[in-house]
Amino acid sequence: MYKKISIIFSFIFLFSACDSIDKPAKPENLIAKEKMSDILYDLYIINAAKGVNRKILETNGFIPETYILTKYNIDSLQFVNSNAYYAYDPKDYESIIERVKSRIENKKTTLESLQKKEGMSAKRKRDSIAMVKAKVRDSLIKNTKKGTKI
């Protein structure tokens, strides 16, 4: 008997917990998808920078949230409402996130190629300096073999 009552209460609890979630109303000042992807891109970049250079950002008084809100001329409530509206539909939000991911990947490949070019340039410079030093040493060695005093 106790089992039956507990099963009945479990089903009642389960069905009452499965309340339908209504889609948030479209905000009056909804941020466009393109602008939303730009905002999220900047937020991801700044959060990555905070992970690497937190001390520098703090000493310069950089507040990421304020920077983003000022840059895009929005307020925090507008961002929260727009984010909730887009996040309700996973396919819609996924398209925004995919734009952000592709921008980050493009930026990453650009920076990696730039870093590679700078590395090659620095290597050439080191190699040329090493060659000059080697020539100077070689000429001294040749002169001493001929019997010339240094």
pLDDT band at 84 (very low <50, low <70, confident <90, very high): very high
Residue 134 has what pLDDT? 63
Residue 119 has what pLDDT? 76
Kindly provide the b/e burial profile for residues 41-53, where b requires at least 16 CB atoms within 10 angstroms of the residue's own CB.
bbbeebeeeeeee
Structure-model confidence comparison of residues 141 and 110, the more confident one: 110
What is the average pLDDT value for the chain, to the nearest integer? 80
Residue 100 has what pLDDT? 94
DSSP conformation class of 89 = S
pTM comes to 0.64
Q: Is 73 helix (H, G, I), strand (E, B) or coil?
A: coil
> In sequence order, what DSSP letters do the residues of 36-72 get, joined into one string?
HHHHHHHHHHHHHHHHHHHHHHHHTT--HHHHHHHHT
Residue 49 has what pLDDT? 84
